[in-house]
Each structure stands twice: as structure tokens, then as C-alpha cells.
Amino acid sequence: MSQPQIKRRRDLEPGGIVLRLVLAIAVSISANGCLGPTAVSLTRTRYNEVYRKTNDEQILLNIVRLRYADSPIFIDLNNITSQFEVSGRGNYSYGLDGAGPGFSNLGLGELFVRDAPTLSFHPRSGQEIAKALLTPLSAELFSVVNAGANIEQFFLMAVNDINDVPNATRAIAMTPSSPDNNTEFRRGVQLLTSLEHRGAIELTVRKFEETDDASDSIPIQRVRGGDLVNAAKENYVFRKDVDDRMTVRKRERTLILRVREQDRNAPEILEFARIFRLKPGLTIYKIKSELSGDHPERKHDVPDELDIGAGDTIFVNMRSMLQIGVFLSKGVCVPDEHVTCGIAPMTPDETGQLYDWTQVTEGLFQVCCSRHRPKKSEIAVKYRGYWYYVASDDVHSRAVMAIYEILFAVQEADGKPAGPLLTLPLGG
């Protein structure tokens, strides 16, 4: 008998078949050891991309809702837990099926692979979401500009007015009664952007000491080293007064707009100062919120071009996240059907024609609409029978949505989870 025939017969013997079957099951079960890294490699980026996509869709859907004066709804995906399992089993009947003499390759093997993700949703409601939506942003959030945000985009979407120069303030109402524009405000911000692009200005933080005393004068011999340390912790400092006495003054970190020395009399800076009623020719302008209490009263008997307010301070009236959302919603294109039926709030102009609010957000943010699902879109949601989407080549709108999401995250960073968690186990 030839060698190949002998080998083939040995393969058909029960012992050889059982050995191979046992080895196959053992290999399949031992795959558990390497399943974890493989599962991470196959699923992490997919979860990441789906999370980003659905989060952007939720933001866009809420902006579209605000255009229709509908309530925004936020549901967070707090946690993703995924369990991976692999198992195998097999049996062998020793090659005997009872049908006659001889051996048959009778056996059964099974391999099970299971992925069971559990998603935890958190509907945001009540005081938690109200605080995040209604609280005006802090002026310190201008630091996002240094983190890479476009200065023009941030000013147009997040600031309601600068030194009482309005940025289409009626556009933050869901149903504005009359048209508005931000032509002058936009011009001033564009000047600031061009200066920033060529490195003539920068936003930074500096400590300033108030000129007014925060305490009565005390004898210098009563001041101990511990007093100096404790005062510094609370941003206060001791200053020597007359007759060997000392007073306490407040030191505070202040956001400033610093102008490069060689550019302080540049035409763009001078026009920027004129538009926003600032003293021209300075190298440092403080940036403060109108809520700080330092905002000067408007001089009604002085023309706007001559009223320079505090002169060296840029007082900003910051919007809340809800007001930013309503403002951005003015960039949503509304189908004629919804205008005719009165579903979407519209504003008549002086001539009785419907005012086109998209011109207020032109170049900043735009949401297109279509009866059918768009083929070239970065983000698309369906609402009231139409598809609303941000075009894939509209980098400005995409960047605005990214800034909006970052601001929202910062605004609610101090909040605590409230309400029940909705947990959905998804069987694999």
C-alpha cells in the first residue's frame, strides 16, 4: 500500500478525527485571549464616529426647531458599555452512524461570537438644562479664540452688542416683530479679524490693580506676613499709604485686547475704535461683561461718534446658549410651503414684504432645506416633512457648530446630572 493511502486511512480513524476536532474547538475558545484588543480595534473608532454624527444631528435638529419656535430637546448618551464574548462547542460520534460497517466523519462544531452593547441615555430637563441655556456666557470665554476659534465667528454668534453697538439684537427673539441688521457691528468685527490675521492684536489675560482702596488704612506695624499671604490668595494686595499706614486694593485677572505698538494708529484700529466708541491710539483695551457693573451710562446728549464711553474698555453683552441657538436659527432656509401656511414665524419689513433673516447670518451659518434626502451633506436631519442639512463644502457652518458645541460643554460643566437614566440593553 502506498504512503498517501496509509496517511489517508489514518486520517479517517476515530482517534485522528477526534484530535483534530478537539484542537479546532480549543483554538476557537483560546481566541478569547486576543478578542479584547481586536474588538477595541474594530469598534472604538466606529462608536466615536457615530457619537459625533448623532451629536451634530441633535444640535442641528434643535437649531431647526428654534427656527419654528419649537422647544429644543437634549438627550445625552452618557455611557456605552459593550461586552464581547466568543465560545465554541463540538461533539463527535466516533465515526459510527449505525447505518453499516466502516467509519464516517460524523461530528458537529459551533462557534458563537456575541457583541452586547448597553447604551445609557440621559434626558436633560428642568433646572439643569434651564441654567445651561439661559445663563449668559462669561466674557472669559473669549479664550476659545486663542484655542483656535475664528474671532469673527465667535463675536457674531456669541456677542449681542459691544459698547451698545448692536449685533442684530432682535434676531435672538424666536418671533421678532420687526427686521434688524448687524451691518455696523459686522464691519467692526471684520476689522478686528483682519488685524488678528496679521498679528497686530491678541487676546490675553493680565492682572490689573484697582485704584480705589478696598479697606480703611491701618498702621503698618499691624500687618503680618500671614496677612499678606491671605490677601494674595483672595487677589488682594497691601499698598503703603501716608504716615506709615497701609490699605488693601483689589487685583483681578482681566481679559484684554493688546494692540501691537506699531499698529496702534493703523487705519483699521482707528476705525474699529470709532465703531465701538473707544479711545483711539491705545495699546491695551480691557474686555469686560456689561454685567460687571462697571458699564458707563450712555450719554444721550452726545452723538454716537463722539461718545467713547469708558474709552479703554470693551464692554460686551454676551448671549446665552439659547439666544445663540435662536440667532443661528435665522440662518435656516424655510420652504415656501411653510411660509405660506404660517408654520414658520416670519417678519414683515417696512413695505409689508417678508424679511429674509438669512442675511443676518450670511457667511456665518446656513442650513439648506430639501424635500428629499440630500446627497452632498455633512449633517442632515428630517423635520416637518423636509430635510435640513449643512452642505459638505460649507466649512463656516461646520466650524460654527463645533464652536457652539464647545461653548455648550463649558457652560454646563458645573451642572450635576438630574433625572433618571434611560438604559437600553441591545442584544447581540
From CA 369, how far away is CA 371, in angstroms rounded?
7
Domain assignment present for residue 259? The answer is yes
- Helices (H), ranges, 203-331: 225-233, 267-275, 321-329
pLDDT digits (tens, 9 = 90+) for 183-209: 999 999 999 999 999 999 988 888 776
pLDDT for 251 equals 75
Domain assignment present for residue 242? The answer is yes
318, β-bridge pairs:
159
pLDDT digits (tens, 9 = 90+) for 130-141: 888 888 988 778
From CA 96, how far away is CA 108, in angstroms rounded?
14
Share of the chain above pLDDT 70, in %: 73
Check: CB of residue 296 under 8 Å from CB of residue 310.
Answer: yes
Please give the tally of structural domains in the chain: 1
Closest CA to 98 of 87, 86, 106: 106
Domain assignment present for residue 216? The answer is yes
Domain assignment present for residue 1? The answer is no
Domain assignment present for residue 277? The answer is yes
pLDDT for 301 equals 55
Cell digits of residue 416: 450635576
pLDDT for 6 equals 44
Q: Is 338 helix (H, G, I), strand (E, B) or coil?
A: helix
Q: Which domain holds residue 261?
A: 182-318
Phi, psi values for residue 139, rounded to 5°: -65, -25
pLDDT for 90 equals 60
Domain assignment present for residue 218? The answer is yes
Low-confidence ranges of the chain (pLDDT < 50): 2, 5-12, 14, 302, 304-306, 308, 415-428
Domain assignment present for residue 175? The answer is no
pLDDT for 109 equals 61
CB burial of 125-137 (b: ≥16 within 10 Å; e: otherwise) equals eeebbeebbeebb
Domain assignment present for residue 252? The answer is yes
